[in-house]
């Protein structure tokens, strides 16, 4: 909902691609080191990979992180998350309609609809906004990426979020836009429906945000400032509907927050 949230959205589709496994040890299970227990059950993995997962707190036994030398006991509920291997991706142009609300020779602004993934990633290798963009535009410039190509893009939106996105059509535009987003000089405004009837007309949420150590599929907040990343969201009520409230969220450094 703010610039920091955008940082987490980027992180989700770069270094936070995981595969999830869950096992319950049999009643007759003999005590066995966790790495030996899991290596026989998870395909295409290694003992070292499992030990690293344990060191990083990504192996839970009965919902608690364990050490690499933990010995499995009968009835233990074991869950583990491992990073997906990097996949070589070929971007395929697809004739997907895009809603262009502004365009010049340097950039364009598109209105991304809900249920459209911005760029290819695990589970969504086709049918994305990027596939549409490379069909409609030739030779879009691209920033370096650790995993997947994102031609023309310097930011993203969640799959279920509707909103405007800036697409660079030239290297010059891409460079300048990337610097603006990095320096956080871009102005962004979001509208969201939240559960409940908020007590205050406006306020600020200042918490550290990161992936839950118990369920890597969801995000959570941390009181410990060494965990997660600082996320600040300023909001004000737009309209009340009783059981939900429509709010406007903005960045801290807007020049005129009252507008």
d(CA 6, CA 113): 17
Is residue 105 flagged as an active site residue? no
Contact 146, 88 (CB under 8 A): no
- Residue 99's Cβ-side half-sphere holds a number of Cα atoms within 13 Å equal to 9
Give the CA distances from residue 95 to residues 98, 116, 124, 130, 141, in Å, rounded to whole numbers and listed in that order.
9, 14, 16, 11, 19
Alpha-carbon radius of gyration of the chain: 22
Q: Give 128: exposed, middle or buried? Use CB within 10 Å, 0-12, 13-18, 19+.
A: buried
Total residues belonging to the chain:
259
210: which residues sit within 8 A by CB, 6+ positions away?
A: 8, 219, 220, 222, 227, 228, 229
d(CA 243, CA 241): 6
Among candidate residues 146, 158, 183, 224, the one labeled active-site is 158
Residues labelled as active-site residues: 158
């Amino acid at each position: 909902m703010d610039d920091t949230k955008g940082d987490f959205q980027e992180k989700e589709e770069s270094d936070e691609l995981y595969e999830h496994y869950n096992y319950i040890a049999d009643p007759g299970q003999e005590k066995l080191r966790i790495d030996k227990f899991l290596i026989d059950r998870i395909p295409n993995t290694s003992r070292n990979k499992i030990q690293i997962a344990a060191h990083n707190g990504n192996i839970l036994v009965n919902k608690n992180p364990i050490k690499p030398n933990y010995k499995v006991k009968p009835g233990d509920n074991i869950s583990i998350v491992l990073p997906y291997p990097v996949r070589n991706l070929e971007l395929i142009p697809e004739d997907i309609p895009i809603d262009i609300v502004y365009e010049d020779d340097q950039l364009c602004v598109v209105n991304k609809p809900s249920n459209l993934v911005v760029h290819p990633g695990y589970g969504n290798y086709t049918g994305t906004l990027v596939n549409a963009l490379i069909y409609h535009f030739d030779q879009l410039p691209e920033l370096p990426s650790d995993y997947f190509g994102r031609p023309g893009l310097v930011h993203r939106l969640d799959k279920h979020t509707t909103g405007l996105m800036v697409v660079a059509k030239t290297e010059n535009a891409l460079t300048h836009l990337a610097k603006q987003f990095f320096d956080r000089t871009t102005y962004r405004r979001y509208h969201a429906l939240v559960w409940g009837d908020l007590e205050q007309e406006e306020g600020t949420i200042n918490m550290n945000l990161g992936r839950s150590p118990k369920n890597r599929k969801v995000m959570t907040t941390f009181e410990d400032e060494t965990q997660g990343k600082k996320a600040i969201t300023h909001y004000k009520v737009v309209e009340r509907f009783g059981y939900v409230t429509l709010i406007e969220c903005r960045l801290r450094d807007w020049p005129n927050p009252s507008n």
